[in-house]
Chain A
Amino acid sequence: MPPKSTPPPEAPFDAQLGRRRRWKNLIAKQDALPWNFQSTTLALDSRFFTGLTSFATFLILAILAVILGTIIFNGLPGLSWRFITSGTEKDMFDVDKAGILPMILGTAARVILMTIFVIPVGVITAIYLAEYAHSTSLYTRIIRGAVNNLAGVPSIVFGLFGLGFFINYVGGSMDALFLPNNAEPVWGKPAILWASLTLAVMTLPVVIVATEESLRSIPPGLREASLALGATKLETIFRIVLPQALPGIMTGGILSVSRAAGEVAPILFTGAAYYMATLPTHLYDQFMDLSYHVFILSTQSPNIEKTRPILYATVLALLMLTFALNIVAILVRARMRKSMRALH
Chain B
Amino acid sequence: MVKQDKRSVGWMGLKRGHRARPLEWIVEKFIFLVSLSAIVMVFLIFMFVAREALPVALGAVNSSLVRKTIPPEQMDTMSQAELMEYLELTPKQFAQMDKETLKDLMLVQVEAAAEAPKDKDAPLNTTTWSMLFKPHQWTGYDKPEYIWQPISSIHKYNLVPLIIGSLKTTLIALLFAVPLSLAAAIYVSQLANPKTKEWLKPAIELLAGIPSVVLGFFGLLVMASVMQAVFGYQSRLNSFVAGIALGLAVIPVVFSIAEDALTSVPRSFTQAALALGSSKWQAAWKIVLPAAIPGVFAAVVLGFGRAIGETMVVLMASGNASIVSWNLFDSTRTMTATIAAELAETVFGGHHYRILFLIGALLFIVTFLSNMLADIIIHRLKARLEGKA
Known: A60-B207, A234-B28. A319 touches B200 (CB 8 A): no
| Complex Cα–Cα for A264 and B364 (A) | 18
B214 and A319 form a contact (CB under 8 A): yes
A234 and B24 form a contact (CB under 8 A): yes
| Complex Cα–Cα for A168 and B70 (A) | 32
Give min CB distance, A225 to chain B, whole Å.
15
Q: Give which listed residue, B16, B203, B279, contacts A46 with CB less than 8 A.
A: B279
B285 / chain A contacts, CB cutoff of 8 Å: 49
Known: A133-B13, A156-B360, A262-B214. A205 touches B38 (CB 8 A): yes
A71 / chain B contacts, CB cutoff of 8 Å: 214, 218
Give min CB distance, B262 to chain A, whole Å.
12
| Most chain A beta-carbon neighbours within 10 Å: one of B13, B32, B205, B220 | B13
Closest B residue, CB atoms, query A123: B34
Mask for A130-159, Cβ within 8 A of B = 1, else 0?
001110010111111111111111111111
A46 and B184 form a contact (CB under 8 A): no
B360 and A160 form a contact (CB under 8 A): yes
| Any B CB within 8 A of the CB of A326 | yes
B357 / chain A contacts, CB cutoff of 8 Å: 160, 164
| Any A CB within 8 A of the CB of B93 | no
B282 and A46 form a contact (CB under 8 A): yes
Closest B residue, CB atoms, query A260: B211
Closest B residue, CB atoms, query A133: B13
A155 and B222 form a contact (CB under 8 A): no
| Complex Cα–Cα for A261 and B211 (A) | 8
Interface size class of chain A, counting residues whose CB lies under 8 Å from the partner chain: 35 or more
Mask for A46-58, Cβ within 8 A of B = 1, else 0?
1001101111110
| Any B CB within 8 A of the CB of A263 | yes
| Any B CB within 8 A of the CB of A89 | no
B375 / chain A contacts, CB cutoff of 8 Å: 144-145, 148-149
| Any A CB within 8 A of the CB of B206 | yes
| Any A CB within 8 A of the CB of B213 | yes
Which stretch in A15-23, A61-69, A213-221, A241-249 binds the other chain?
A61-69
| Any B CB within 8 A of the CB of A283 | no
A61 and B214 form a contact (CB under 8 A): no
B28 / chain A contacts, CB cutoff of 8 Å: 132, 233-234
Closest B residue, CB atoms, query A205: B38
Q: Give which listed residue, B209, B221, B305, B316, contacts A152 with CB less than 8 A.
A: B305
| Complex Cα–Cα for A319 and B209 (A) | 8
Known: A54-B192, A128-B31. A42 touches B360 (CB 8 A): no
Mask for A107-144, Cβ within 8 A of B = 1, else 0?
00000000000000100110111001110010111111
Known: A53-B187, A334-B202. A161 touches B49 (CB 8 A): yes
Closest A residue, CB atoms, query B96: A183
Which stretch in B61-69, B113-121, B306-314 binds the other chain?
B306-314
A330 and B214 form a contact (CB under 8 A): no
A160 and B339 form a contact (CB under 8 A): yes
| Complex Cα–Cα for A140 and B38 (A) | 12
B35 and A128 form a contact (CB under 8 A): yes
Q: Give which listed residue, A57, A163, A233, contacts B183 with CB less than 8 A.
A: A57
A148 / chain B contacts, CB cutoff of 8 Å: 371, 374-375
A298 and B35 form a contact (CB under 8 A): no
A155 and B311 form a contact (CB under 8 A): yes
| Complex Cα–Cα for A121 and B30 (A) | 11
Known: A53-B183, A64-B206, A149-B42. A70 touches B367 (CB 8 A): no
B34 and A157 form a contact (CB under 8 A): no
B211 and A322 form a contact (CB under 8 A): yes
Closest A residue, CB atoms, query B309: A154
Tell me the B51-81 residues at the A interface (CB within 8 Å).
Answer: 51-52
Mask for B257-298, Cβ within 8 A of A = 1, else 0?
000000000000000000000111110010000000000000
| Any B CB within 8 A of the CB of A311 | yes
A292 / chain B contacts, CB cutoff of 8 Å: 213
B281 and A46 form a contact (CB under 8 A): yes
Give min CB distance, A142 to chain B, whole Å.
6
Q: Give which listed residue, A141, A149, A264, A268, contacts B371 with CB less than 8 A.
A: A149
Tell me the B207-260 residues at the A interface (CB within 8 Å).
Answer: 207, 209-218, 220-222, 248, 251, 255
| Any A CB within 8 A of the CB of B14 | yes
| Any A CB within 8 A of the CB of B188 | yes
Closest B residue, CB atoms, query A163: B343
A327 / chain B contacts, CB cutoff of 8 Å: 206
Mask for B181-209, Cβ within 8 A of A = 1, else 0?
10110111001100000101011111101
| Any A CB within 8 A of the CB of B368 | yes
| Any A CB within 8 A of the CB of B363 | yes
| Any B CB within 8 A of the CB of A287 | no
Tell me the A258-293 residues at the B interface (CB within 8 Å).
Answer: 258, 261-265, 268-269, 291-292
Give min CB distance, A181 to chain B, whole Å.
11
Given A124-B31, A153-B367, A157-B45, 19 additional A-B pairs, CB 8 A: A50-B187, A129-B35, A132-B14, A145-B372, A149-B42, A149-B375, A152-B302, A152-B309, A155-B311, A157-B364, A234-B24, A234-B28, A264-B212, A269-B343, A294-B213, A295-B316, A318-B211, A325-B209, A330-B206
Binding site for B on A (CB under 8 A): 42-43, 45-46, 49-50, 52-57, 59-61, 63-64, 67, 70-71, 121, 124-125, 127-129, 132-134, 137, 139-161, 163-165, 169, 201, 204-205, 208, 227, 232-234, 258, 261-265, 268-269, 291-292, 294-295, 298-299, 304, 308, 311, 315, 318-319, 322-323, 325-327, 330, 334
- For the complex of A and B, list the 6 residue pairs with the smallest distance between their C-beta atoms, beginning with the closest: A262-B211, A154-B309, A56-B183, A128-B35, A53-B187, A326-B209
Task: Offer 12 A-B interface pairs, CB within 8 angstroms, sorted by A.
Answer: A46-B282, A55-B183, A57-B188, A143-B36, A147-B38, A149-B371, A149-B372, A161-B49, A258-B209, A268-B343, A268-B344, A319-B211
